[in-house]
Amino acid sequence: MADQIQEVEYYYVTVPDKPGEGVRMLNALHQAGVNLLGFSAFPHGARRSQVDFLPEDSSAFVKAAKKAGLKLSKKKRGFLLQGDNRPGVLAEVLGKLAKSGINVTAVQAACAGSGRYGGLLWVKQPDLRKASRALGISKSTNVTPPDIVDEASKESFPASDAPSWNL
């Protein structure tokens, strides 16, 4: 499968940095049937954390988040990266941005198993259109990515062993 880079919507909240805060938010979203394409959390000041949510359906997410008492940021945009894992794949992506003079605010990437990788990438919002062009994205969309597990493939693991991708 070819690499896919898509522009996605995201929101963030800042919450107390204490045990159980993440599970409280994720359980509320799960109970509302909200699926996330990505999730990231990190320290943000004294005893606070910033939590980024990349929802599959922004309107359902906003509704569920408000019901859970989360004070959301305004809608922002970032990038979801997916593709076949290989040496240098992230350097290729970052190289396109560097060549266009775009500074990356943050990036996270990981091997997803079965020869696949996934990642999240953020640039400053004023650089978003330029970054989309540099990455070869012709239209901003919030399209659901294809399923990573292809049950018909000989390389995929049995469906009964498939992890839950619903974060």
Residue 105 has a pLDDT of 95
Mean pLDDT of the region 2-17: 94
Residue 80 has a pLDDT of 97
Q: How far apart are CA 155 and CA 112, in angstroms?
A: 14
Q: Where are the beta strands (DSSP E) in the chain?
A: 4-16, 36-43, 48-55, 76-84, 104-113, 116-123
pLDDT band, residue 4 (cuts 50/70/90): very high
- Helix extents (H) in the chain: 21-31, 58-67, 89-99, 128-134
List the one residue out of 9, 106, 140, 17 whose CA is nearest residue 62. Answer: 9
Average pLDDT, the chain: 86
Beta bridge partners of 48: 16
Residue 1 has a pLDDT of 58
Residue 166 has a pLDDT of 43
pLDDT band, residue 2 (cuts 50/70/90): confident
Q: Is 81 a residue whose pLDDT tops 80?
A: yes
Residue 86 has a pLDDT of 94
